[in-house]
Structure 1
């Protein structure tokens, strides 16, 4: 059975870990995008562009 197979157990663990990591990085990039869209970030960008 799959459940008794240690290799399958490890694979399942690895897959779950990868899924969690992906979810985390998706959340982080979404937060960064939001931060970039905020007015203060836009002002900073303009300041950088003018100097």
Structure 2
């Protein structure tokens, strides 16, 4: 018995890292953050949590 392919993917919206794959009925891309230090800094800068060390 073959396993159907996982058509969904979760990507980091800051660095593009593939976080996980998910079972969906069609090709679907979800975006989150991967919790790496640089990505967390980018997220915090964008939402205004911190305003130092932001480019």
TM-score by length of 1: 0.30
Normalized per residue, the structure richer in strand is 2
Larger helix percent:
1
Name which structure has the greater RCO, CA cutoff 8 Å, separation 6+.
2
- TM-score normalised by length of structure 2: 0.28
